[in-house]
A and B are shown apart, each in its own frame.
Chain A
């Protein structure tokens, strides 16, 4: 059940300064997450992501500003807010004294889910997360991937409206990561709001509807991954493989390509591809905006001058490029 215009998460002028710290860990943060949205907070370690999530999940007291979950103030009514959200931390915090199934049913009981309903739901989730055959053992010897799956299953027991995931696929092998991503997409399709922190560009670009890039406690940019990457001028590339007579790219051709609208620079690449044709050469065009509209004019230009176009490769800027552009440093 969502709608009626209440944002899933609403943060305004949020500040956190830890005692004895000279700087704000979170510095005047404002953003809104809509119901059913997947929102990614991206930033390097120490950027303030975890503190932000801590404030939203009632575990860190804001110094100033406001944070609302489902319209309820986290500082004023933390007990009600806790009923609306669930947290999947990066490190396992599973209850090692009780079985996997009991982890799920006790969690449900904490949240007031009736026992019969909890039993049914636990079975469904154990099945869905591939944990059914291990349901009656204690989770103390679980691998990272199993713990992660179990913590997501546990988080879903009380049907939270907002699910917070801290680095959901850090330390998982590729198969486990894909499994977790698939489950998260299913949740999104069911209308659960997901808020994830990550320093994995690929994860953010793959899962998130919108990404907020954070550094030094501030939000530097906030948009869809596509818009963020599109906004990065001069980072798109168009690489053309050209069949040339004498194995060289003549200077007039380079100049002609530079005249095309949107091209900022052209570079003739001189690396020899061992298995390739000796007469094949590659030219890289640096483009402001999107590169794909340039394919047709470039092909025409080459054909007019008697060159054969063998292949085309588009290079789009990644979120990593956006991040480096904004912060001047790499993510890890």
Chain B
């Protein structure tokens, strides 16, 4: 930056640090809004897994409809579910609304940062929220179930899986939020949301589906399955599960694909 930058009114920052500041400020705005609406945020993220946990892990077990130990394989699955669904919801719905109706995103698209960075901030913020929500599920699980399956040696894999699950949810949200036109948002959400919720192996371990081969194939196509399975590998390794390296491979591949499609979709919505 030399003599060509005479048009500035204040000392010009180097482009990279300038973009970093814009990125931090946009993330700061999102975190500020979350902080201001903390009770709403907590209710939003906790309610659904809380009820699933309560009904399947507590009520059905107390009534004797589920075997002993079912809650141990359900709990890791619900962590996976919370990470993926929260990531997706945090990103997809607001994005459709911002692009389609409120246009609130325009002020950020006109900030001195690249459009890809605006998309990246969305993904990072959604992942942070998803990660937080998943972490909150751990004490909630202790409260509801009395005890949760826990291995300290599995914590590194647990944290890694939480990160990947949150990113996966955000990636799915970015793809949906940019590909869906506002008028169809309700239909698409119900068409995607419910199947995703029930084919992601959060309520059952994948290898046990060998008795239902067609459903095993269906669940293998849902990337959330690999989050659930990796969670079980971390917390209840004695339950048969998909190999961790397979989970990591599939999740890495899914993330690359979703981010590529999502960022491209974001560009298409942001710039004509």
Contacts and interface: CB of A to CB of B under 8 A. Distances in A.
Interface in A47-65: 51, 54, 57-61
Interface stretch (A108-116, A211-219, A316-324): A108-116
Interface string B33-53: 100110000000000000000
A106 B29 contact: yes
B14 to A, nearest CB: 11
A82 B110 contact: yes
B22 A59 contact: no
Given A112-B18, A161-B9, A18 B272 contact: yes
Interface stretch (B54-62, B100-108, B146-154, B244-252): B100-108
Nearest to B25: A109
Interface residues of A, number: 44
A80 B9 contact: no
Nearest to B98: A93
A97 B22 contact: no
A96 B113 CA distance: 22
Contacts of A72: 7
Nearest to A91: B103
- Chain B binding site: helix, strand, loop or mixed by DSSP? helix
Nearest to A60: B272
Given A87-B110, A110-B107, A97 B272 contact: no
Contact of B111 (A80, A82, A91, A96): A82
Interface string A1-32: 11010100000000000100000000000000
B260 interface: no
B28 interface: yes
Nearest to B103: A93
Nearest to A18: B272
B271 A110 contact: no
A84 to B, nearest CB: 7
B13 interface: yes
A109 B106 contact: no
Interface string B118-160: 0000000000000000000000000000000000000000000
A228 to B, nearest CB: 30
A289 interface: no
Interface-centre pick from A1, A54, A87, A111 (highest chain B CB count, 10 A): A111
Contact of A89 (B9, B13, B21, B103): B103
A258 interface: no
A98 B271 contact: no
A13 B194 CA distance: 51
A92 B8 CA distance: 28
Contacts of B113: 79, 82, 110
B15 A112 contact: no
A255 B23 CA distance: 76
A80 B112 contact: yes
Nearest to A151: B107
B107 A80 contact: no
Interface in B62-93: none
B6 A4 contact: yes
Interface-centre pick from B19, B110, B114 (highest chain A CB count, 10 A): B110
Contact of B26 (A6, A80, A110, A161): A110
A111 B272 contact: no
B28 A109 contact: yes
Given A61-B272, A112-B112, A1 B13 contact: no
B196 interface: no
Contacts of A315: none
Given A111-B111, A112-B112, A159-B9, A106 B272 contact: no
Contacts of A36: none
Nearest to B20: A112
A107 interface: yes
A2 B7 CA distance: 7
B6 A107 contact: no
A159 B9 CA distance: 8
A106 B33 CA distance: 12
B106 A89 contact: yes
A4 B7 CA distance: 9
Contacts of B37: 97
25 contacts: A57-B110, A61-B272, A70-B7, A71-B7, A78-B115, A79-B19, A79-B113, A79-B114, A80-B112, A83-B112, A86-B110, A87-B110, A89-B103, A93-B106, A93-B107, A97-B33, A97-B36, A106-B32, A110-B25, A110-B108, A111-B22, A112-B112, A159-B9, A159-B10, A161-B7
Interface of B: 4, 6-10, 13, 15, 18-19, 21-22, 25-26, 28-29, 32-33, 36-37, 102-104, 106-115, 270-272
Given A1-B9, A93-B102, A97-B37, 16 more contacts: A59-B109, A61-B271, A71-B7, A72-B7, A79-B19, A79-B113, A82-B111, A92-B103, A97-B33, A106-B25, A109-B25, A112-B18, A112-B25, A112-B112, A113-B10, A161-B9
